[in-house]
Amino acid sequence: MRKFFIAMAVVEMLTGLVLIVSPPMLAWLLLGSLLDAPPAIIIARIGGVALLSLGIACWFASRDENSPAAAGVMAAMVLYNCGAVILLAYAGIGLGLSGLGLWPAVLVHTALAVGCIASIKSRATSMLIK
C-alpha cells in the first residue's frame, strides 16, 4: 500500500502544480477548451491547491499506512477519484468535450479508485481476521 500512496501522491501533486501554474493548459489537455475567464482560472487554481494538498496527505500517509489517519486519506481518495471519473466522463459523453488527455485521465482515475477500494477492502478483511 505504501507504493500506491506514493503513486497517488505524485499524480495529484503534479496535477495540482499544473493547475496552479497553468489552468488553461490543463483545461485544453483534458477538455479541448481553454479557460479564459479570470473567475474560472481562480477556481481552477484553488482546485490545484486542493489536489496538491491531497497529494501531500497521500505522501505522509505512505509513511504510516496502517494508521487510522491513512485509512481516512484512502477513503477521501476513493471519493475524489470516483468523482473525477464521473465528472470527466460526463464532460466527454454529456457535454461533448474532448482533449487529448480526457480518456486517459478517466482510465487513470478509474484505476486509482479501484486500487483505493481494494486497499480499503483488504484492510477491513485483515482487521476482521485479527
CB within 8 Å of 9: residues ≥ 6 apart: 55, 56, 58, 59, 62
pTM of the complete model = 0.89
Q: Mind listing the pLDDT tens digit for each residue in 82-113?
A: 999 999 999 999 999 999 999 999 999 999 99
**pLDDT value at residue 123:** 79
Please give the tally of structural domains in the chain: 1
Select the more confidently predicted residue: 81 or 128.
Answer: 81
Q: Mind listing the pLDDT tens digit for each residue in 25-81?
A: 999 999 999 888 999 999 999 999 999 999 999 999 999 988 889 999 999 999 999
Retrieve residue 88's grid coordinates. Answer: 470527466
- DSSP string for residues in 16-36: HHHHHH-HHHHHHHHHS----
Range of the domain at 102: 2-129
Q: Is the pLDDT of residue 130 over 70?
A: no
Residue 106, classed as helix, strand or coil, is helix
What's the rounded Cα separation, in Å, for the pair 39 and 56?
26
